[in-house]
Every structure is written in C-alpha cells, then in structure tokens.
Amino acid sequence: MRTLVGLALLLTATSAFAFDSQCWPGDIRRRTTVDQAACFEGVAQCGDGPDAARGTLYGEHTWLVRQAMLHAGLGPRVGDVALRYFTDRAPVQGDAEFTSIAPVGPTGPQVLIERPMTIAEFAQLPDWSYGMGDWMTGNETCPATNVLRGNLDRVKHCHSFQTHMGSVNSTHFLPQAQHIYARYHRLALAVAARCQTMANA
C-alpha cells in the first residue's frame, strides 16, 4: 500500500519551489539578483569546465548564504568582489573556444582582466570546480588523477558533475569537506593577519 501511495505522489507531484545549483552563462550579476534567479525555471546552464568558471553561480547554495549574510548584518557592500589580475589570454588547451583566465607571472605576455564574483557564490563552487585553485585558474585543467586529459573536451568531461565531480570532488563530502573548510579558514586568518600587520606598519 505504501508503495502505491508513494508512486501516486510521485506521478502527481509538480515542480518544487526550491532550486538547485545553477550556473548562468556570463555575468548577470548587475541585472539579476540571486532572489530573482530563484524564480526562473529552465534557464540556460553553463557548460562543464571553463564555461562554469566564467559564469554566474546563482542557485540554492548561493541564496542560502546570501540570506545568512543579510541576517548577520552583512549588506551588499560586503558581498561583491572584483578580482583583478594578469593573464596571458592564451587559447585553453589549444582550442579557440575559450581564452585563458588563469593568472600568470611577471614574465611573458600579460593582459589585465577583471572577474566579478560575490562571496555567496563561492558556496556553489563544489558543484562546478574541484576547489578554489581550480576555479581561480578557470577550470582549464583536470585536477583529478587517472583521468584522460590533453584537450578541451577532456577538461570539460573531467568537470562533469555526473561522471566525475560528484564522486571524486572531496569538497562535497564529510569528513573531507570539513577539512577543506578548516584549511581555507586558516588561510583566510593568515591573510587577515598579514593585512593587519601591513596596516599597522
């Protein structure tokens, strides 16, 4: 009987009013808030890999963190981030579909770029990147071991949540997620301490 009731509920269920991890192609931050994005269904999604690192990570995780930030008194001025750094804009994996947004050192060609981001969006990073380093380098390589690599299609496949990221990305599951959080928190405190030292100098 329970099976029949469950089946009936499943067949008659409408779409939920929640939303999951989403990545909107390009930068939509200035024209769409995360609250507005929650109301949209059937939006175009970023592709796996480099496309996601260049998109807007709006969705359930971002919305929840944004609400927590507002509840804690952290307004919009705290949430917006513009990362400015130099890259060489080389073709990703030799393919002209994407130009690199990975940071480069002082030697060789340099182009100043700006990557918009909001703090709350980092909550969705584990669904699209293997970690902060992977996202920062544009999801342009495959950090997972024992995976075919060497061209753009393989990099995209490596970042597929269904085939790779959902099962091997350690930032998704306990206890690894807790260790990653603790590591990033220690790094943030160390950076804050250096900033304080510079401010006091």
pLDDT of 3 reads 52
Bridge partners for 114 per DSSP: 84
pLDDT of 82 reads 86
pLDDT of 169 reads 74
Bridge partners for 141 per DSSP: none
pLDDT of 16 reads 42
Q: Is the dihedral of CA 159, 160, 163, 167 positive or negative?
A: positive
- Only one residue has tokens 């990221």, namely 165
CB atoms near residue 40 (< 10 Å): 12
pLDDT of 9 reads 40
pLDDT of 186 reads 95
If DSSP codes are grouped into helix, strand and coil, which group holds residue 98?
strand
- Contact (CB, 8 A) for 71 and 130: no
Surface-to-core class of residue 110, CB atoms within 10 Å of its CB (0-12 exposed, 13-18 middle, 19+ buried) = middle
pLDDT of 181 reads 85
Q: Using the 8-state DSSP alphabet, how is residue 47 labeled? A: P
Cut 0.95: pTM above it: no
Q: Which residues of the chain are under the pLDDT cut of 50?
A: 4-18
pLDDT of 18 reads 44
pLDDT of 194 reads 95
